[in-house]
Amino acid sequence: MERELISKKELLERTGISYGQLYRWKRKKLIPEDWFIRKSTFTGQETFFPRERILERIHKILSMKDSHSLDELADQFSPNPAEIALSADEVLKRHIVSKTTLDYFYEQTGAMESFTFDKLLQVYVLEQILRTGAISLDEARIVLAALADHYDQLQGKSCELLFIRKFGLATCLFVTAPGEVYFEKDVKVAIRLPLARAIEELKEKINAT
């Protein structure tokens, strides 16, 4: 699903990390298994990574590794949801979502006192997709419903949310990695949101205070 790749060699060179570190982080699940993409090249098998995501991840690990243990980091990066519940006030205070989004979310689901992780993720995704400006409120409802329906199946997997449009018709889908989707030419991809990354950002915000 990734457009640009970086080879392991180039990655080590650019970030200055060692083989030992890379393998250790893989072992500790700080780097997801499905980011290791094997390809044949003229010198034999080589490993590639999704460029943007791995560089971002490595920088994050490097900046946090002195203050956090590897296990803590693994928790943060894991696509498995954290066990937590936040009150509506805290959701706003930690800037997880804006008041507008929260109000709109309440319209859909009814008012809520405390948010569990799955609800937090729903409202966070809602904020993200509305913020792109690429979809309307009504369309966002489709995404919310789909996310609520499939949340259980998507747990622990790294997957991407796609919102597509064709001739005024809109729908959304979730694609779990590793996998690729190809569309016919009339399809417009309005939104492409990696959920694993949304989860990671959300956890960062939750743990921020």
The residue count for the chain: 209
Q: Which parts of 42-101 interact with other proteins (CB under 8 A)?
A: 43-45
Q: Residue 62 or residue 111: which is nearer to other proteins going by CB?
A: 62
- Least gap, CB of 18 to other proteins (angstroms): 5
CB-nearer residue toward other proteins: 13 or 52: 13
Q: Give the binding range for other proteins (CB under 8 A) out of 11-19, 53-61, 68-76, 175-183.
A: 11-19
Closest distance of CB 80 from other proteins, Å = 17
- Which stretches does DSSP call E strand in 85-168? 85-87, 114-116, 159-166
- Using rule CB under 8 A, residue 16 touches other proteins: no
Residue 31 or 97: the one with the smaller Cβ distance to other proteins is 31
SS3 189: strand
- Using CB under 8 A as the binding criterion, the count of chain residues that bind other proteins stands at 14
Q: Which of residues 141-180 bind other proteins (CB under 8 A)?
A: none
Among 24, 51, 65, 141, binds other proteins (CB under 8 A): 24
- 3-state secondary structure (DSSP) of residue 179: coil
Q: Is 80 helix (H, G, I), strand (E, B) or coil?
A: coil
Give the residue with the Cβ less far from other proteins, 45 or 209: 45
Q: Burial code of 83-100, b = ≥16 C-beta within 10 A, e = fewer?
A: eeebebeebeebebbeee
Task: Give Cα separations from 173 to 137, 150, 153, 164 (angstroms).
Answer: 17, 10, 13, 8
Alpha-carbon distance of 125 to 161, in angstroms, equals 10
Residue 9 interacts with other proteins (CB under 8 A)?
Answer: yes
Cα–Cα distance measured from residue 92 to residue 41, given in angstroms and rounded to the nearest whole number = 50
Least Å from the CB of residue 28 to other proteins: 9
Residues found near other proteins in the complex (CB under 8 A): 9, 13, 18-24, 26-27, 43-45
